[in-house]
A and B are shown apart, each in its own frame.
Chain A
């Protein structure tokens, strides 16, 4: 394939809405989904004479994320105006940060599913206000505009062009999202638009120093869409170059239904934003004490937690990563282990069994009736051979349904494991007598003959027999025959 000749260069720009009670520069509520134009003041409408006042909470949230992605925090906070005309931008300029971003020079270390590790450098993360939303559908001869979103605080996080594959981009976004969710300052929902991503991508012949011409991809509505659109662009740009053409510098829109990118605007139509310092907001020094204070308030972040899980619980890196990527899952896991469950078993049972059941029921761990202590108890009952794995798998759905403890369910349904050797010995004899063919096979060295007999034993005990004892008994009895 021709694409082996080229390497890909990807940079991502992520906008995260900060979950403050009020907007970046006024007291309007930030509540999502309210009636159009009700979450507004004269400031978020940009009415003449209104002035912005910085929301301190938004600054704190911004600093916390910046620290969480290993950025340096600027000495001074300064805002600039970015000008363009569009009906969703009430002042016809956006208050943003141009030459002195809130934070800079950060990084995240990410690992893909295929164990491809890379350090993604972060160029900058800066504060700015969100725009409103246009509604082209609900009115037949025109468009409507809703300013509820206008002025909601955003942190724009821009990477260096360090990413080389769509998978790396996917892994970066996943870690970024989980880091921010750990800090608890945004719900990072792409569906609700509280996390948005634009991608810049170019290709160049392997070994070439200078970058190829890039395109910017917009309208990405999921991490999967980011990965797919990047792959699409790699293929498209490769084809363009291979056929002797040049890649055009432009902004392209991802069409999710058609799974392709299409031209939105070319560089010639690009804006001159005429940035200049926002005169309505006086620049001020960000105190180092405050930064330190905010640093102390940060929880353990997913990357650190992953390393700890590997060390403390002897989990594989992949298992640890799966567990920590969602804070609630990792919290659940730790409670489960701390109340006595075997760490490896807990990891498997939580991520495959319990989450499997919840996913099928379209439920989340948050509202799950099975407490981590209860799951731990179930696993410990297996360890103590009160029940076997098969029974445990039978019980778990009932625990999810009713919230009853595994002990009660086992007792109520008489599901305790049968480990009484005398009883099982008796049963083994009966089964052997009833199946002479299998005995013959066993003597002929057919190993699976014993499995058949074990199966018979389990059938007779309705699955409650201790499989280890059954195996041992059958081996012993058959060898003695």
Chain B
């Protein structure tokens, strides 16, 4: 059976798009697909039926993504297109500028197709905290797609997106990629510009691609990675062509298994799949050894201090003065209080309160300062580990997708679903999640590969070799 256009990968779409007519066919196919499946998975807040931002008259020459429709998480600013972070407080907010990544994609001939649902302000691991509606997992509509980039992952998995961008502060790209059976990369901190990404944890946030396979992911990174003079935290480090080294084999690749990651709470089926994947790498010629990341046990605590502190500060600007929601009030203080208590959801308020507390006079040293010190120790763990190995392997998440409402009332257990992804954000190292099998319920399992600073190329190579051996992503959810 011939492939439908909407099923295409980035590489296939680029080959398909010979002229404007092809682009319109692709868009029309994708838009019809969204019409059909989005009411079920609710991955999108909205999408385009016309490529209004795409100028088909422009030359295709030298443009690596000409006519490729991109779906974008709703916390990445799009000029003239509502960007609300799936929050009531930003409803109706239309940015007057494009995020740097959006600019870069457009310059390569791509156009923005849809805005993806997310946990409100990216605070969550299930997409249930969206002020609009929860997104569902295409593999089982009673389950969550993961979060916070749940809309991005679900849209790619259900073939209503060719590719999506997400953002990852503590696992928000990788955990939903794992739950939805797609490939998701969190780049090295500073690799991709944060300009135009509505900040959650400024020292942790990175934008990254969610794709149907590893090669697509490398293609998108080729475009969005690189120094941006508008983002002082972006790194002036050369970006290699990630597609060049993909196909190189993994013979001699040194892989580390952190003993601290295989602990209570890790689903045995997930553990088995990760162990099998590791065995496969050995078969492919990689050298596997056990390593230690001794400060892992502090990562979640440190994260919920650093991330909430930064979030409480970053979200202070949503005060009803300039844009977004303003609660009618009789004076200024009442306006602030009502706007913020009505405009923010429960999880946002919980984190803003936590963050405000840890930065308060008298508590700063005991919480924020101490957390920063432990963060340095966690970084050192990785520095030490990467003296011995090239890649660290682990589960992406301790479980496969959980059911809707299963963890909603239990924030702590929700927070623990990011236990394997959080350390990479704290250290700043790149990590990718790739499918590594299915559990007995038929739900996808994700394998996480963690690399050294600015060594996304090795992650892509390791991921590609495994993917091309196992072909887990040939299987699609039936929806």
Flag the segment in B103-111, B311-319, B426-434, B444-452 that touches A: B311-319
Report chain A residues within 8 Å CB of B368: 276
Decide: B96 and A83 in contact? CB cutoff 8 A.
Answer: no
Query: Quick one: which of B309, B313, B318, B321 contacts A93, CB cutoff 8 A?
Result: B313
Q: A54 in the interface, Cβ–Cβ < 8 Å?
A: yes
Q: A75 in the interface, Cβ–Cβ < 8 Å?
A: no
Q: A422 in the interface, Cβ–Cβ < 8 Å?
A: no
Query: Quick one: which of A90, A274, A281 contacts B356, CB cutoff 8 A?
Result: A274
Decide: B233 and A83 in contact? CB cutoff 8 A.
Answer: no
Q: A51 in the interface, Cβ–Cβ < 8 Å?
A: yes
Which residue in chain B gives the minimum CB-CB distance to A92?
B316
Query: In whole angstroms, how far apart are the Cα atoms of A337 and B230 in the complex?
Result: 52
Decide: B361 and A272 in contact? CB cutoff 8 A.
Answer: yes
Query: In whole angstroms, how far apart are the Cα atoms of A280 and B195 in the complex?
Result: 10
Decide: A276 and B319 in contact? CB cutoff 8 A.
Answer: no
Report chain A residues within 8 Å CB of B233: 51, 279-282
Q: A207 in the interface, Cβ–Cβ < 8 Å?
A: no
Q: A452 in the interface, Cβ–Cβ < 8 Å?
A: no
Decide: B232 and A281 in contact? CB cutoff 8 A.
Answer: yes
Decide: A83 and B202 in contact? CB cutoff 8 A.
Answer: no
Decide: A93 and B232 in contact? CB cutoff 8 A.
Answer: no
Flag the segment in A42-50, A399-407, A460-468 that touches B: A42-50
Q: A52 in the interface, Cβ–Cβ < 8 Å?
A: yes
Q: A247 in the interface, Cβ–Cβ < 8 Å?
A: no
Q: B165 in the interface, Cβ–Cβ < 8 Å?
A: no
Report chain A residues within 8 Å CB of B95: 42, 47-49
Report chain B residues within 8 Å CB of A83: 313, 316, 359
Decide: B230 and A53 in contact? CB cutoff 8 A.
Answer: yes
Query: In whole angstroms, how far apart are the Cα atoms of A46 and B95 in the complex?
Result: 12
Decide: A274 and B77 in contact? CB cutoff 8 A.
Answer: no
Report chain A residues within 8 Å CB of B360: 272, 274
Decide: A49 and B199 in contact? CB cutoff 8 A.
Answer: yes
Q: B440 in the interface, Cβ–Cβ < 8 Å?
A: no
Report chain B residues within 8 Å CB of A389: none
Decide: B316 and A93 in contact? CB cutoff 8 A.
Answer: yes
Q: A328 in the interface, Cβ–Cβ < 8 Å?
A: no
Decide: A279 and B195 in contact? CB cutoff 8 A.
Answer: no
Query: In whole angstroms, how far apart are the Cα atoms of A96 and B93 in the complex?
Result: 28
Report chain A residues within 8 Å CB of B199: 48-49, 280
Contact bitstring B168-203, A, C-beta under 8 A = 1, else 0: 000000000000000000000000001111110111
| Residues 76-114 (chain B) with a chain A CB within 8 angstroms | 76-77, 83, 85, 90, 93, 95-97, 99
- Residues of B in contact (CB 8 Å), total 44
Query: Quick one: which of B203, B309, B310, B317 contacts A92, CB cutoff 8 A?
Result: B317
Query: Quick one: which of A50, A85, A93 contacts B195, CB cutoff 8 A?
Result: A50
Q: B244 in the interface, Cβ–Cβ < 8 Å?
A: no
Query: In whole angstroms, how far apart are the Cα atoms of A282 and B231 in the complex?
Result: 10
Chain B nearest CB, measured from A257 CB (Å): 26
Query: In whole angstroms, how far apart are the Cα atoms of A52 and B199 in the complex?
Result: 13
Decide: B99 and A92 in contact? CB cutoff 8 A.
Answer: no
Report chain B residues within 8 Å CB of A280: 199, 202, 232-233
Contact bitstring B227-240, A, C-beta under 8 A = 1, else 0: 00111110000000
Q: B332 in the interface, Cβ–Cβ < 8 Å?
A: yes
Report chain A residues within 8 Å CB of B336: 85
Query: In whole angstroms, how far apart are the Cα atoms of A45 and B359 in the complex?
Result: 25
Decide: A53 and B229 in contact? CB cutoff 8 A.
Answer: yes
- Given contacts A48-B198, A49-B196, A87-B321, is CB(A276)–CB(B364) below 8 Å? yes
Which of B75, B196, B318, B368 has the most chain A CB within a 10 Å cutoff?
B196
Report chain A residues within 8 Å CB of B97: 42, 47, 50
Which residue in chain A gives the minimum CB-CB distance to B323?
A47
Q: A145 in the interface, Cβ–Cβ < 8 Å?
A: yes
Decide: B77 and A49 in contact? CB cutoff 8 A.
Answer: yes
Q: A149 in the interface, Cβ–Cβ < 8 Å?
A: no
Query: Quick one: which of B77, B203, B322 contacts A279, CB cutoff 8 A?
Result: B203
Chain A nearest CB, measured from B204 CB (Å): 9
Report chain B residues within 8 Å CB of A145: 321
- Given contacts A279-B202, A279-B310, A280-B232, is CB(A46)–CB(B194) below 8 Å? no
Decide: B309 and A53 in contact? CB cutoff 8 A.
Answer: no
| Residues 125-163 (chain A) with a chain B CB within 8 angstroms | 145
Query: In whole angstroms, how far apart are the Cα atoms of A51 and B77 in the complex?
Result: 13
Decide: A90 and B195 in contact? CB cutoff 8 A.
Answer: no
Q: A327 in the interface, Cβ–Cβ < 8 Å?
A: no
Query: In whole angstroms, how far apart are the Cα atoms of A50 and B228 in the complex?
Result: 13
Decide: A45 and B310 in contact? CB cutoff 8 A.
Answer: no
Query: In whole angstroms, how far apart are the Cα atoms of A81 and B203 in the complex?
Result: 14
Query: In whole angstroms, how far apart are the Cα atoms of A81 and B231 in the complex?
Result: 17
Query: Quick one: which of A46, A49, A90 contacts B197, CB cutoff 8 A?
Result: A49
Q: A91 in the interface, Cβ–Cβ < 8 Å?
A: yes
Report chain A residues within 8 Å CB of B313: 81, 83, 93, 274, 276
Query: In whole angstroms, how far apart are the Cα atoms of A281 and B194 in the complex?
Result: 12
Contact bitstring A67-86, B, C-beta under 8 A = 1, else 0: 00000000000000101010
Chain B nearest CB, measured from A279 CB (Å): 4
Which of A48, A83, A91 has the most chain B CB within a 10 Å cutoff?
A48
Which residue in chain A gives the minimum CB-CB distance to B202?
A279
Decide: A276 and B309 in contact? CB cutoff 8 A.
Answer: yes
| Residues 160-202 (chain A) with a chain B CB within 8 angstroms | none
Report chain A residues within 8 Å CB of B323: 47
Decide: B359 and A274 in contact? CB cutoff 8 A.
Answer: yes
Query: Quick one: which of B99, B229, B310, B332 contacts A87, CB cutoff 8 A?
Result: B332
Report chain A residues within 8 Å CB of B93: 48
Report chain B residues within 8 Å CB of A274: 312-313, 356, 359-361, 364
Contact bitstring B299-330, A, C-beta under 8 A = 1, else 0: 00000000001101100111101110000000
- Given contacts A87-B321, A272-B361, is CB(A48)–CB(B77) below 8 Å? yes
Which residue in chain A gives the minimum CB-CB distance to B356?
A274
Report chain A residues within 8 Å CB of B232: 51-54, 280-282
Which residue in chain B gives the minimum CB-CB distance to A43?
B230
Chain A nearest CB, measured from B272 CB (Å): 39
Which residue in chain B gives the minimum CB-CB distance to A46?
B317
Chain A nearest CB, measured from B316 CB (Å): 3
Query: In whole angstroms, how far apart are the Cα atoms of A275 and B230 in the complex?
Result: 24
| Residues 45-95 (chain B) with a chain A CB within 8 angstroms | 75-77, 83, 85, 90, 93, 95
Query: Quick one: which of A49, A54, A81 contacts B198, CB cutoff 8 A?
Result: A49
- Closest 9 A/B residue pairs (Cβ): A92-B316, A279-B202, A274-B359, A279-B203, A48-B198, A49-B196, A49-B77, A91-B317, A87-B321
Q: What is the interface of chain B, defined by CB distance below 8 A to chain A? A: 75-77, 83, 85, 90, 93, 95-97, 99, 194-199, 201-203, 229-233, 309-310, 312-313, 316-319, 321-323, 332, 336, 356, 359-361, 364, 368
- Since A42-B97, A51-B231, A90-B321 are in contact, a sample of 10 more A-B pairs with Cβ atoms closer than 8 Å, ordered by chain A residue number, is A46-B317, A48-B93, A49-B83, A51-B195, A52-B232, A53-B229, A53-B231, A53-B232, A83-B359, A276-B364
| 8 pairs of residues in contact across A and B, judged by CB atoms under 8 Å | A51-B232, A87-B321, A90-B317, A90-B321, A93-B313, A281-B232, A282-B232, A282-B233
